[in-house]
Amino acid sequence: MLFMPRILLVKTSSMGDIIHNMPLIADIRRHYPEAIIDWVVEETFAEIAALSPHIDQFIILPLRHWKKNLLSNETRHELCAFRRKLRARQYDAILDTQALLKSALISTWARGPSHGPNRQTAREPLAGMLYTHSYDISPKLHAITRTRMVAAAAFGYNLDELPLTYDLRVPEVTLPIAPLPAFVLGFHSTARDAKLWPVTHWVAMGKYLASLGLGLLLPWGSETERLRAQAIAEQIPGSVVLPRMSLSQLTCLIQQAKLTVGLDTGLMHIAVALDIPTLAIFCDTHIWQAGAMPAASDHAITIGGKHVLPSVAEATAAIDQLLKTA
């Protein structure tokens, strides 16, 4: 008789972390084809989490809305409704792959044994003290590996027998732009200024792409990002500042790209998960910690690292190598 575990995933944010959770879901599905999997995710990132075809239901956490109206009756009622939904099912395993105090607290509200890193290895030590079962999962491993190890420890299977896969399903959406010839998507924005690559470097790289007959498309999500995109595009022949697009639309566009170039940002990780040849440019993050990890090893290259500013020459050399696989 097949074991049909009921599993709750707690990974509430951010975009890159949501994508890093996908291989764990694919692992579980391959190991337990009949598993019922629910996922607690912040409202802002539910659109990205929905790229997984393996989730039975999403339990939406409207955290940003609550923070703006912390003491209101509306927030109190919504919090009670959230906890009721969280406790509607008895789970065989609650997997907290975020390992923060907020995610560990959510795990305690649900019904069932919880699993996560121990207090020596959790991102926030207090989180590791709240799980029913905690594990020594080294913080010196890639975020995807750490995430997959939580489920492997909880269910006792061997990751060596499960090759990395993301297994995403991209929705069909209408794009606000006409069909384009071969293009490169440039993800020039990120959550922290320390992760940014200089505009001059983007311009030099974009001119190189133009010399190869590839147009650079630049998305944006805020006015600051739009102005940066415009500053880059106005100096590169054939480059385009995209209209503002939803995450689903951008994901669909990523799937059509010849190549993507991105900083340490969620959109770059989506491109890697979709097996699009991708150059990841890291300026303030360790590569071992969150570098591009493709299912096909030759489809992504990460350059730079913590407190490292990659050169344009490094970027163009990596682009040449990636285009051979495109």
pLDDT by position in tens, the chain (length 326): 467 899 999 999 999 999 999 999 999 999 999 999 999 999 999 999 999 999 999 999 998 878 778 778 888 899 999 999 999 999 999 999 999 999 999 999 999 999 999 999 999 999 999 999 999 999 999 999 999 999 999 999 999 888 999 999 999 999 999 878 899 999 999 989 999 999 999 999 999 999 999 999 999 999 999 999 999 999 999 999 999 999 999 999 999 999 999 999 999 999 999 999 999 999 999 999 999 999 977 899 999 999 999 999 999 999 999 999 87
Helix (H) or strand (E) run with residue 200 in it = helix 199-211
Output the pLDDT for position 75: 86
Backbone angles phi, psi at 281, to 5 degrees: -110, 110
Output the pLDDT for position 164: 96
Output the pLDDT for position 65: 78
Output the pLDDT for position 1: 47
What would the two tokens of residue 64 be?
Answer: 């940003």
Query: Which string of b and e fits 19-50 if b means at least 16 CB within 10 Å?
Result: bbbbbbbbbbbebbeebbbbbbbbbbbbbbbb
